């Protein structure tokens, strides 16, 4: 038997103030496109079962568009008579009893088996027993449900989890669950542990047969350089499973890091950035640019607008700066392009002026003229 394992599709996710010609948020559309590619390949491969290990939607109450899209795609699978089992992840699980679980809507589609009610379920499909433990908000209830988990004799046993198998897989999200360390050994009873939540595909070495398949699209800079796709697992009698990772094309997310900026002139930094840009294809890509150990005055000269002008074909440029303080010490935090540079200029002026009242007055004027400069306006 063969199963197709994918996860963390986050339908309905959106980011950036950019839309397609159809008026859909550009990043939202990227996630729809990735989902369609997985379903297209599934219909070509025709596995015996498809499994989705959580965070089908990005929110527990998705808007109309992602809901309609999901129903359309699941009906494609149903028409092909390929069963699909879906567990709820932390993003798709309501935080209160007053919100109905959205995955319940999928029960109306033939061959779709959603596991969502914060309870363990076991679904037998031919020679395969699919065990699903969805995200559970309450720690005590989660422990109770784990006590019910047991493999089915005479079947290939697959368990689906949406959790962190160790602190190294924590996503720093509100409400995420860390799988109990004392229960990890229990998972080795299963032929395959299908994991969701962690967005990078990889084998979990502490398990005999456990894999995170990752998300189908990139959501953060921690996923730069990581392939996206799904696993295809072929179950054969008395043989250890060896999942095959099948990639899908997604929007590129690239990174450029300019180090030791303090030791360089502004012109040298700009030249280094231009040279780095010439070596990569930024067309339609997301680009993260890091300036390490940069001084405030250097940052003023390397404005966001100037950097964006160097790569006009990029979909979006995220600019991050690690500043050297006025006393020459390195700041541990990163300032991103979402933090206004005019505020950084103002802070620098105030810190550098002995008369704080005069410093604030100069800072206000600097913010005014900087705003005109960023808009491309000129005043006499």
Give me the residues of the chain with pLDDT under 70, please: 325-353, 356, 367, 370-380
Give the domain ranges of the chain: 2-247, 253-339
Question: How are beta strands 316-323 and 335-336 bridged, if at all?
Answer: antiparallel
CB 78 within 8 A of CB 42: no
Phi, psi of 104 (to 5 degrees): -60, -30
Alpha helices in the chain (DSSP H): 26-45, 64-79, 139-146, 266-278, 296-301, 304-310, 341-352, 356-375
Residue recorded with tokens 């559970």 = 136
User: Quick check: helix, strand or coil at residue 369?
Assistant: helix
DSSP string of 169-203?
G----TT--BPPGGGGGGGGGSSEEEEES-SS-EE
Decide if domain 2-247 falls under CATH 3.60.21.10: yes
Residues 125 and 112: their CA atoms lie apart, in Å, by 12
Q: What pLDDT is recorded for position 350?
A: 64
CA distances from 354 to 70, 145, 191, 298, 358 (A): 61, 64, 69, 22, 8
- The predicted pLDDT at position 360 comes to 73
Asked whether 8 and 194 are in contact (CB, 8 A), the reply is no
């Amino acid at each position: 038997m063969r199963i197709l394992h994918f996860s963390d599709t986050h339908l309905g996710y959106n980011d950036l103030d950019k839309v397609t010609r159809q008026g859909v948020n550009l990043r939202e559309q990227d996630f729809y496109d990735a989902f369609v590619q997985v379903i297209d390949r599934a219909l070509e491969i025709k596995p015996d079962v498809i499994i989705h290990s959580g965070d089908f939607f990005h929110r527990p109450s998705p808007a109309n568009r992602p809901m309609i899209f999901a129903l359309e795609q699941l009906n494609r699978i149903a028409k092909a008579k390929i069963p699909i089992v879906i567990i709820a992840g932390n993003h798709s699980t309501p935080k209160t009893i007053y919100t109905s679980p959205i995955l319940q809507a999928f029960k109306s589609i033939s061959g779709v088996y959603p596991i969502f009610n914060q309870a363990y379920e076991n679904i037998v499909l031919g020679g395969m027993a699919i065990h699903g433990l969805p995200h559970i908000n309450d720690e005590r209830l989660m422990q109770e449900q784990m006590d019910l988990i047991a493999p089915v004799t005479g079947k290939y046993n697959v368990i689906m989890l949406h959790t962190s198998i160790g602190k190294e897989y924590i996503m720093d999200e509100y409400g995420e669950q860390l799988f109990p360390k004392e229960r990890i050994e229990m998972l080795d009873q299963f032929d395959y542990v299908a994991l969701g939540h962690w967005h990078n595909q990889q084998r979990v070495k502490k398990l005999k047969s456990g894999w995170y398949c990752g998300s189908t699209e990139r959501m953060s800079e921690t996923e730069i350089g990581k392939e996206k796709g799904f696993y295809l697992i072929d179950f054969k009698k008395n043989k250890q499973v060896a999942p095959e990772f099948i990639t899908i094309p997604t929007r590129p997310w690239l990174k450029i890091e300019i180090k030791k900026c303090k030791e360089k002139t502004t012109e040298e930094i700009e030249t280094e950035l231009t040279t780095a840009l010439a070596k990569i294809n930024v067309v339609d890509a997301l680009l993260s640019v890091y300036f390490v150990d940069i001084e405030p005055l250097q940052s003023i000269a390397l404005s966001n607008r100037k950097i964006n002008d160097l790569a006009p074909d990029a979909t979006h440029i995220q600019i991050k700066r690690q500043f050297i303080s006025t006393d020459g010490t390195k700041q541990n935090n990163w300032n991103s392009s979402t933090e206004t540079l005019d505020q950084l200029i103002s802070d620098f002026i105030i810190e550098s002026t002995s008369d704080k009242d005069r410093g604030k007055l100069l800072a206000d004027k600097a913010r005014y003229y900087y705003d005109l400069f960023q808009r491309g306006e000129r005043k006499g």
